[in-house]
Amino acid sequence: MDRISLRPRALVSLTACRTAGWRHALAAAVLLAALVAALAGPAAAQAEGELTIGWIPWDEDIAATYLWKTLLEEQGYSVNLVQLDVAPLFAGLAAGNVDVFLDSWLPVTHGTYWERFGEEIDDLGVWYDQAVLGLAVPSYVPVDSLDDLAANAARFGRRIVGIDAGAGLMRITRNDIMPAYGLADWQLLEGSTPAMLAELDRAISRKEWTVVTLWSPHWAFAAHDIKYLKDPKGIWPPAEEIHVLARKGFAGEFPDVARWLGAFKMGDMPLGTLEALIKEQSDAPEAAVRAWLEGPEHRALVDGWIQ
């Protein structure tokens, strides 16, 4: 799920991870991990106080990553950020070339990668426990259930606006939701989160019907009057958890940071506010974080993590 327009160039082009099945993505990930190792050496060899956070361009990860970059720099650490797709990010953690990843959705969305790499990765804890996947429509659309989509195919143009092909959300939509609800003749559009959100904005501005792949937490629910479609067949997984993952040995080398990350918890209101600020200042995410931290309630929240 590649999210918002804040998109620094990835370390390596990962088209294979986006277009192939997860096994191909894992193979590409292993190759990438070897390349990163050759170029950078193990994380343990970094200068003392220097950390590498791997991130994916999903809105909550952008928010969490830049927030923790700011907080750790306030504590005197040097923080490097590396944007990767999910598969190579897990491979980088397992190989010890990435220190921390703040946005692992478990047990379903990133479950395949956890099964492959989990034994070589440490789980520092859960910071959000109501992560939800689904299909959403503008609230003015008089459709409330996935059961209603097929009967209104013409109004929706027989298409679902999706995100990047390799996302777990897309896999479940394609393999499970569409067959179960009679949508086999529909098109699931592959693209990116920015493209999906742009299409949602465009449709709402024209009061058109559209259905998009979406998830919570996401600022779109605060920015627009939209709703999830009910899933009477119970196909979508129950609410997931967002975990902080670290390379093996990280907690021993950075015990304070590991403890702070373990205490990290965030609810919808502060997270949504931070995501919205970063969206508004997409060219200056660190400035957006600093503005967010000026709120006394936000500073009190983070002070509770860092003790």
DSSP readout, 66-91?
HHHHHHHHHTT-EEEEEE--HHHHHH
Q: How many CB atoms sit inside 10 A of residue 116's CB?
A: 19
- The answer to whether residue 3 sits within a structural domain is no
Q: Mind listing the pLDDT tens digit of every residue in the chain (307 residues)?
A: 433 333 333 333 233 333 344 445 555 555 555 444 444 444 443 446 999 999 998 899 999 999 999 999 999 999 999 999 899 999 999 999 999 999 999 998 899 999 999 999 999 999 999 999 999 999 999 999 999 999 999 999 999 999 988 788 999 999 999 999 999 999 999 998 889 999 999 999 999 999 999 999 998 988 899 999 999 999 999 999 999 999 999 999 999 999 999 999 999 889 999 999 999 998 999 999 999 999 999 999 999 999 8
Q: In CATH, what number is assigned to the domain containing residue 139?
A: 3.40.190.100
**pLDDT of res. 46:** 45
Q: Are residues 212 and 146 in the same domain?
A: yes
Same-domain pairing of 33 and 47 = yes
Instruction: Report pLDDT for 204.
Output: 98
> Are residues 250 and 125 both part of a single domain?
yes
Domain count, the chain: 2
Res 32: pLDDT: 54
Domain with 282, as residue range(s), is 15-130+240-305
Helix (H) or strand (E) holding 19: helix 15-19
Same domain, 38 and 124: yes
Same domain, yes or no: 116 and 257:
yes
Domain boundary residue, one of 198, 228, 258: 228
In this prediction, residue 307 carries a pLDDT of: 81
CB-CB neighbours of 136 under 10 Å: 22
Do the domain assignments include residue 235? Answer: no
Q: Is residue 8 part of a domain?
A: no
Residues forming beta bridges with residue 106, ordered by sequence position? 241
> What per-residue confidence (pLDDT) applies to 282?
87
Q: Tell me if 218 sits within 8 A of 59, measured CB to CB.
A: yes
Which residues face 245 on adjacent strands?
101, 123
CATH number at residue 266: 3.40.190.10
